[in-house]
Amino acid sequence: MENKEKILVTGASGFIGHHMIGFLKDKGCFVRGADIKPSSFNDADEHLILDLRDFNNCKEATEGINKVYNFTANVGNISFVDKFRAQVMRDNASININMAEASRQSKVERIFFSSAAGVYPTANQKNGGIVAFKESDAYPANPDNEYGWEKLFSERLYLNYEKEFGLKARIARFHNIFGPEGPTEGDKAKPIEMFCSKIAKAEDGDEIEIYGDGEQSRSFLYISDCIEASYLLMESDFSGPLNIGSEEEITINKIVDMISEIAGKEIKKTYIGESQGAKGRTSDNTLIKEKLNWSPKVSLREGLSKTYLSIKNN
């Protein structure tokens, strides 16, 4: 173990954190996981059950660590972040401030921060079919919800920890990551996993509910591509922020149709007047192609097929 690189993954019980742990273990790293809850995957070398809103817990998690992948966040679907705005801002700001300072004190070499596409301005997201967002489009700042504002603040926090203290920061803006082993129901479920679960359980001709009118558009990135790009960014000399996403934009209605086709079922849609988030948002990958020579390998349809089959079988 002494010769292995020691890496901390926070949010280790979560979707992205769990997949990153498996990837790093395959690389031969020693991986410590940290989360507020136990892991059902048991894939890290050690798993610490810690509330990272507490600085002392962050200090414990980072002791003896070379690199940190910080995925911990209080987040859910659009209804969740709209309902619990103060809690989301308070919890996530506390976690990110504590992790930055604990990493500095523990002499961590570099830290990865998972920001989000929610940092991009509201005014540019009112209509579907928009031009993809470049990293520079985040300013002048006006994110579409408080979750996005906190992410933007934390981006600046980590960049300034690098400038002032030399803690190398690697910042990614994730665009709708999906795949097997993500939550399929409740406030934490994301659209693709939730639709896959509902369609797997549905009979031919059944209806499923969609927030808004279903014409809101997004790009979705399969989990293995996200993990690969995150690792490449962490190991690179580029601090970011850097989009990690797909440029393949699609409406929610078409996502449901595609999953229904994969399932071999006729599924009807009903619409409910709850939050639908931004009307249109996708990723411009020009900068990540230039800096990391990276592009997604898994098409949307292939990723949907893998995700649907995994959820259906499990």
User: What's the pLDDT at 216?
Assistant: 85
Structure confidence by residue, pLDDT tens digits, 229-246: 999 999 999 988 999 999
For tokens 């990865």, what's the residue? Answer: 112
Please indicate whether residue 271 is annotated as part of the active site. no
CATH of the domain at 59: 3.40.50.720
Is the same domain home to 99 and 235? yes
CATH of the domain at 264: 3.90.25.10
User: What's the pLDDT at 125?
Assistant: 59
> What is the amino acid identity at position 16?
I
Is the same domain home to 213 and 140? no
Distance CA 143, CA 110 (A): 27
At residue 276 the predicted structure's pLDDT band, cuts being 50, 70 and 90, is: low
Distance CA 258, CA 139 (A): 35
Determine phi and psi for 289, rounding to 5 degrees: -65, -40
For residue 111, the Cα-to-chain-centroid distance in whole angstroms is 16
How would you classify the pairing of strands 168-174 and 242-244? parallel
User: What's the pLDDT at 124?
Assistant: 59
Alpha-carbon torsion (311, 309, 196, 305), positive or negative: positive
Is the same domain home to 55 and 67? yes
Question: In angstroms, how far is the first alpha carbon of the chain from the final one?
Answer: 34
For tokens 């410590």, what's the residue? Answer: 32
Q: How many CB atoms lie within 10 A of CB 196?
A: 26
Decide if pLDDT at 75 tops 90: no
Output the average pLDDT for the chain. 92
User: What's the pLDDT at 173?
Assistant: 98
Is the same domain home to 230 and 308? no
Structure confidence by residue, pLDDT tens digits, 132-148: 899 999 999 999 789 99
> What secondary structure letter does DSSP report for 188?
T
The rounded percent of the chain whose pLDDT value lies above 70 is 95
User: What's the pLDDT at 37?
Assistant: 92
At residue 131 the predicted structure's pLDDT band, cuts being 50, 70 and 90, is: low
Distance CA 132, CA 243 (A): 11
Structure confidence by residue, pLDDT tens digits, 95-114: 999 999 999 999 999 999 99
In a domain, 1, yes or no: no
Q: Which of 69, 120, 139, 147 is catalytic?
A: 147
Collect all residues with Cβ–Cβ distance below 8 Å to 65 and sequence separation of at least 6.
Answer: 6, 7, 8, 32, 103, 106, 108
User: What's the pLDDT at 76?
Assistant: 75
User: What's the pLDDT at 189?
Assistant: 83
User: What's the pLDDT at 165?
Assistant: 98
Distance CA 83, CA 79 (A): 6
Structure confidence by residue, pLDDT tens digits, 6-26: 999 999 999 999 999 999 999
User: What's the pLDDT at 135?
Assistant: 97
Q: Do 63 and 48 touch, CB atoms closer than 8 A?
A: no
What is the residue range of 197's domain? 191-217+250-280+303-313
User: What's the pLDDT at 119?
Assistant: 94
Is the same domain home to 205 and 145? no
Distance CA 86, CA 231 (A): 32
> What secondary structure letter does DSSP report for 6?
E
Decide if pLDDT at 80 tops 90: no
Structure confidence by residue, pLDDT tens digits, 160-172: 999 999 999 999 9
> What secondary structure letter does DSSP report for 255?
H
Is the same domain home to 131 and 209? no
For tokens 């619409």, what's the residue? Answer: 271
Q: Do 306 and 179 touch, CB atoms closer than 8 A?
A: yes
Number of domains in the chain: 2
Distance CA 304, CA 233 (A): 25
In a domain, 184, yes or no: no
